Structure 1
């Protein structure tokens, strides 16, 4: 017996001659005629208990377009976002684009396959009022928690539109039609392939009848009264003939859903070994039966689909690729990491559930599927046996870390036309996150100390067309809004870094390299022949070894409470001075950090804060606290910066410094290459502006809330007193490298310079051992690597410290490493 995936059974027009004659006699074929009005009233009563109101539309995509436009405020701001999950149909994102919104695509949770609530709330906090509307998808007809979205709408003052395309006929846990009483719009489909099968059509419902009334004008060219447009409008009206069919389907929908629920239950009983959706509610309007293949069989899905077709069973792959993987949306949307959607979408199979089937057909199809899976499992086993004992990867370079620094090195190579040669020599990049590029930058609440122009310079006029095109991608346009400003919010830098990394990954794989996202480098060990063996582990615990002549460590830096607490200030460990009042700067600067400060200072009438350090992080912490709204009750001198080195701003040249009245520098503070004053040590952008005010430079007036105290030494009792009097102490005392452990060929750990608190790399970005000697074939780049520019790279002679900057990584520093890697490869080849 044959089982097609979908076998539409809409009401038969041939059996509706009386209704068709009624339409003909009325002379009304569209424009909210009597059949449409009757269907809307009947649907409201039968499906939603008579509460709220329904609006019939030409199709669900039109319904989404109208509902999204209304929920986002009729005239949304130009950069308004529509937050939606990756695992949904293309129509969801298409509707957002047509409504003038940019899709913001998030991951899903692993059980019900609906939007990940934690990521939704993180993105609402990150993007704030830029998110005009949340567009949850009631995946495969499930009854999602609408009360939670009502709370989010109030909490974040954001619009909500539920894409419930497959849910017409679903009953929630309270026994009501899914959506009943919801204060926002819910959009359902009546497409021929849906459980509520008509032909083509959609239904918008809301518990708020006034909302539906406004949308009624929007679907009729924006006419609220008469024929003069007062609203954004479109023609999205449902024809009378389709409404006639919808009324007939409404009469039988309970029977149809109950019949399909029996088939669903039969599948679940027959295939207990497969993962299925954890659905909510009393009844799901089941369109088909989604199941997940075992992970090992995911690569064999096409073969499984073909084998099932040979068995007489139509099988689909909804939704694979998901919208975050589709070319249009990769060009037009902002896409967050979606590891769960990637994994689930990659394993998804859709088995038939049709009106023509019986519950007994479920076990029949299950038996055919089980037979096919057994055949494919055996084939995978044979292939695995053949591959056992094969040589490990023999590469030239392995890069560990695909965050801002690791991908910046690839950007540097792309700018010089050297990315393809680097990759073709044998290349792999390993990143623990599901997506390369941004690292943790999107988790911070501050502005960058790098200009928007610098971020854009990575792609603008890049020799690779796919990278150059990103200047006009939504992520590039977002960054463009911050040109000529004091940096860009770090949360807004993440999309461009991520999509740039996506394009770089495409170039790498196209030239034969490997991009191992979702893999963590566990250890790097020297082999007896002088190469490096990197052991990586995937999310499922599987291990793999990569053998290469070179390894590049780009794993960034970190800050811990213990690290900050142990630092000595005025001769005393900071923890002894501050105790439980101590907070590390990294915690403050992240999203939610100011909330932690609010909690710590709650009830303190006139709080005092001491910030220890003179770095960008220290000044950024002060800026963040001072500009927070609603503001803290800071009085005069409430925020004190305690620092050892003088606070000095960057200047583009000596004349500009003198024009502002800044003279606290000498020839050693001037970069001989660029002429910049304090090119490396000087504070920039927002931090610079605060310091300029503190120093009263250029006619600026100091902020009376901020004071500074330069620590005189270990005997500085005044510094200790300031800390003792503070209600909160922020330790902005640097980061340490998050480096993967290296081992010698004998398995013993290698002693490295950074483990003793010295720079991780030398002037050529080569990793240093405990005797400050270069470790052959090992390089480092990124935050806390300890690199100091020199020679043609410029920098002032007086600079003491390390230079961490995206521009350097994407240009001279990244190119320095690339050139050495290619040179070593050429030497090996010779």
Structure 2
């Protein structure tokens, strides 16, 4: 491929071959590291030139090391295990990786739609929600813009939290007061000197702080924690900048004003010309622009734009796409709620060239090309093939749909009619199940029923697979540990994917769906992003199936009232969601909170399976949390009911708290849908003292409404409050033919689907060609599916998805296909 006329990045560090005197100076000193004369000179010169002589600077080996030092210093000398680092989801991986190396869990916040920095409202909500669990706030000065440091100084004082600014691309940026960005800040500001940055050196970093004492301590930490002798007195690592890099940095410092000023003129030229894209709102007098970021219009194919620009000799990228919340490691190891703004920005962002060699005329020429390409493209052209069905999500619910088709002998037909499955992970089946430290609410027999006697021999053979044999060990037990169930779901997903592909269907792992738009012919055009490089393509289908699972949104906690008072006010910084507790490592975080309490008190709020699972997990913790009598209180609004296989079985167990409306007319089960099963059932039976069972003295229950003042006091007196308020669906953004958003019933907290699994709009009308399945979809069995008349709520269960619910969707899709052919 020919070299680009305008490469996206054109590194321009000082050329040492033109400065042999500098090399000779370093060699003659005989010092090559260890805070030598070149480094000390660079730090002093940078302080004087870039920061008006205020505070001090420290050169480090690279900016990631600088972040690690600064974060560890900000949180104190104790390790940060169980604590959180609040940061924007739209930033480079180094921000989150540095926090993790300091023992912190990244807490990812959405961004502002204008300047793409961390959203102030989201910061406040998360600081109030997590309280002193947040050890550090790490804002990112997005693409070199000058963020409001006074606000972060205020947050640091108000919440008693450490602050470190990731200003990787900002060295040379001038703030609104005409000073170098970061000048005199009371916390560490970390800049990158990487060769691709505007302050291009090699692999290096610079830390500035208005307090020289902070820099002194960071210097000692960056030298193995040595303080005046070769004995470590504090946490440390080797973060020192080599002398040759410091010498290069001094050369770059001498020209940085000219470089930044030239790049600022190029940025201005872009802004003067480009009209068909959205540009970042920036603050400050001048920024050290690394490249020109912009947002493409909705439904313009970014991949095609990048290819068209490359054909014109123009390099183009997409920073940061995928954002942190879309990257596999951080999906599994960070905490994140919905981030709709960042999702949208990451889906549409492009990065255009700004290099030291470019002129404003070059920028105007590129901008003209961008506008022309965007205008000519409009909405992406349709591919020639139109699928009958696009399944969005290949986790337990999405693969359960495929399993239902396979058990009917219809999976091959579905694939041949045009089937595409889109899944973010690199394989189908597992989803997030393996992340949880609890047992399933489905039996081993249910998991095995997906493969046993399956019409497809390659699936039926899995009954002898090691993953299936491991699940079979729990036959007759109270569920299967999810870490053991996950491998069977994944290997089943592999076989299902092979059948789909062999019959002409498509399996797009490592991809995610952005949104879907209704087409004039009644079908759907769905935007799909490849996570490896951010490339976006459009997929046409007659129907789409949303199987993206559920989540516990943070705004649910903010709006929830318990005993007549907002829950977040009652809990006052000691609130944890059950999803967080039940995940691997969640119990350890809860134990950290309770460890110092002589008689720890925990309140679990909710009457869901996750509420009972939370209680059970804490009771059996190893090593155990030292709960005394009534140490755990369950607050719930509805009576707790156990499941029974028949009315006779219930009465034989001396349980008669049910009527005919509580018995399923199809199966004869008592509380078939509303009753607790397996481990949760055993706990409820003890709590209700059914048939003389002895309750666990450590557990108490309280029906909210009997005495709201008592409930309020329980929450206020608790050391930890677990919110088990149920799950809401990940509702896919849908647009009508005119491009307007379609409001969904799920947006208002109502069920996402109707009795036929069709997704409902805000007026509770089914949206043609859109189905939903899985956790939090809101499906309620009916007719031949059975269920008790008294049931209020939604039914979730792997068996249901793999059988009746999945079959219902498959039959409707194939029926529509048959009618279309006819």
Band the TM-score falls in, shorter-chain normalisation:
0.5 to 0.7
Shift in Å, 1:238: 0.8
Matches of 1:767 and 1:274 in 2, distance apart? 33
Q: How many angstroms apart in 2 are the aligned matches of 1:95 and 1:736?
A: 32
Q: 1:561 aligns to what? A: none
- For the residue of structure 1 that corresponds to 2:58, the secondary structure is strand
Give the structure 1 partner of residue 355 of structure 2: 354
In the other structure, the counterpart of 1:204 is: 207
1:67 aligns with 2:70: yes
* Aligned mate of 1:787, from 781, 784, 793: 781
Number of the residue aligned with 2:266: 263
Query: How many Å apart are 1:148 and its aligned residue?
Result: 3.0
Residue number among 249, 253, 268 corresponding to 2:256 in the alignment: 253
Mapped contact 2:85–2:134 kept (Cα < 8 A) = yes
Contact 1:163/1:188, CA 8 A, preserved across alignment = yes
Contact preservation (8 Å) 2:563, 2:709: no
Aligned-pair distance for 1:160?
A: 3.0
- 5 Å-filtered alignment, 1:9-20, equals 9-13=12-16, 20=23
Is the 2:390–2:419 Cα contact (8 Å) retained in structure 1?
Answer: yes
* Residues 1:804 and 2:795 are matched in the alignment: yes
Q: 1:565 matched to which residue of 2?
A: none
> 2:628: which partner in 1?
none
Q: 1:267 to 1:809 in 2, by over 3 A?
A: same
- Counterparts in 2 of 1:511 and 1:249: CA distance versus 1, 3 Å: same
What RMSD in Å do the two structures reach over aligned CA positions? 6.7
Question: 1:552 deviation in Å?
Answer: 9.2
Deviation at 1:202, TM superposition (A): 0.7
Structure 2 match to 1:307: 311
- Selected match of 1:370 from 368, 371, 387: 368
1:715 matched residue in structure 2: none
Q: How many Å separate the matches in 1 of 2:325 and 2:557?
A: 36
* Shift in alpha-carbon separation, 1:545–1:246, aligned structure 2, 3 A: closer
Deviation readout 1:411-459 (Å, 9 max, x if unpaired) = 865997987865554457999xxxx9999x9xxxxxxx99653499999
- Unaligned 5+ runs, structure 1: 442-448, 469-482, 489-495, 528-532, 559-582, 600-612, 624-638, 711-721, 742-756, 769-774
Q: What whole-Å deviation, never above 9, does each CA across 1:740-791 have from its counterpart, x for those lacking one?
A: 99xxxxxxxxxxxxxxx999977x98999xxxxxx99998866654326988
Q: Partner of 1:236: helix, strand, or coil?
A: coil
* Deviation by residue 1:344-375 (Cα, 9 ceiling, x = unmatched): 34544434433344xxx323442354246536
Distance apart, 1:142 and its partner CA: 0.6
**How far did residue 57 of structure 1 move?**
0.5
Structure 2 residue corresponding to 1:698, chosen from 679, 694, 698: 694
Q: Is the 8 A contact 2:387 2:540 kept in 1?
A: no
TM-score normalized with structure 1 length: 0.61
SS of equivalent residue, structure 1 residue 698: coil
The 8 Å contact of residues 405 and 806 in structure 1, kept in 2 or not, is answered as no
Query: Is the CA contact (8 Å cut-off) linking 2:414 and 2:814 kept in structure 1?
Result: no
1:607 maps to which residue? none
Equivalences for 1:669-818 in 2 at 5 Å? 680-682=673-675, 698-699=694-695, 785-787=779-781, 804-807=795-798, 809-817=800-808
Alpha-carbon deviations, 1:471-505, whole Å to 9, x = none?
xxxxxxxxxxxx999x99xxxxxxx9xx99x9999
Return the alpha-carbon distance in structure 2 between the equivalents of residues 168 and 516 of structure 1: 35
Q: Summarize the Cα distance change of 1:700–1:789 in structure 2 as closer, same or farther, 3 Å threshold.
A: farther
Which residue of structure 2 lines up, in the alignment, with residue 144 of structure 1? 147
Where does residue 574 of structure 1 map in the other structure?
none
Give yes or no for contact 2:396–2:798 (8 Å, CA) kept in 1: no
Q: CA deviation at 1:11?
A: 3.8
Query: How many residues in Structure 1 have an aligned counterpart in Structure 2?
Result: 674
Is 1:179 aligned to 2:182, yes or no?
Answer: yes
CA contact (8 A) 1:188 1:204 kept: yes
Pair 1:298-2:299 in alignment: no
The answer to whether the Cα contact below 8 Å between 1:394 and 1:546 also exists between their aligned partners in 2 is yes
Say whether residues 1:117 and 2:116 are aligned partners: no
Give deviations 1:378-427, integer Å, cap 9, x for gaps. Answer: 4669x85xx6xx999562x578x989996585486599798786555445
Q: Alpha carbons of 1:346 and 1:160: their partners in 2 closer, same or farther (altered >3 Å)? A: same
Residues 36 and 244 of structure 1 are in contact (CA less than 8 Å); yes or no, is this contact kept in structure 2?
A: yes
Q: Pick from 24, 29, 34: which aligns with 1:26? A: 29
Partner of 1:53: 56
Separation (CA, whole Å) in 2 of partners of 1:424 and 1:115: 46
- 2:230 pairs with 1:227: yes
8 Å Cα contact 1:67/1:161 also seen in 2: yes
Note if contact 1:196-1:253 (Cα within 8 Å) is conserved in structure 2.
yes
Superposition deviation, residue 162 in structure 1: 1.9
- Superposed displacement of residue 32, structure 1: 1.0
1:670-699 CA deviation, whole Å, 9 max, x = no partner?
A: 999999985644468899979966879725
Q: Is the 8 A contact 1:410 1:504 kept in 2?
A: no
- C-alpha distance 370-459 of structure 1, shift in aligned 2 (>3 A): farther
TM-score (norm. length: structure 2): 0.62
- Corresponding residue SS for 1:186: strand
Aligned equivalents of 1:740 and 1:252: distance in 2?
48
C-alpha spacing 1:71/1:809, structure 2 compared with 1 (3 Å): farther
5 Å matches for 1:336-415? 337-357=338-358, 361-371=359-369, 373-374=371-372, 377-378=375-376, 393=386, 395=388, 407=398, 409-410=400-401, 413=404
Q: Structure 1's 701 and 302: CA in aligned 2 closer, same or farther, altered over 3 A? A: closer
Deviation track 1:491-526 (CA, whole Å, cap 9, x = no partner) reads: xxxxx9xx99x9999999994389995547989x9x
Structure 2 counterpart SS, 1:254: helix
Shift of 1:279: 0.8
From 553, 567, 590, the counterpart of 1:594: 567
Deviations 1:780-809 (A, max 9, x none): 866654326988x9x8x8975566234555
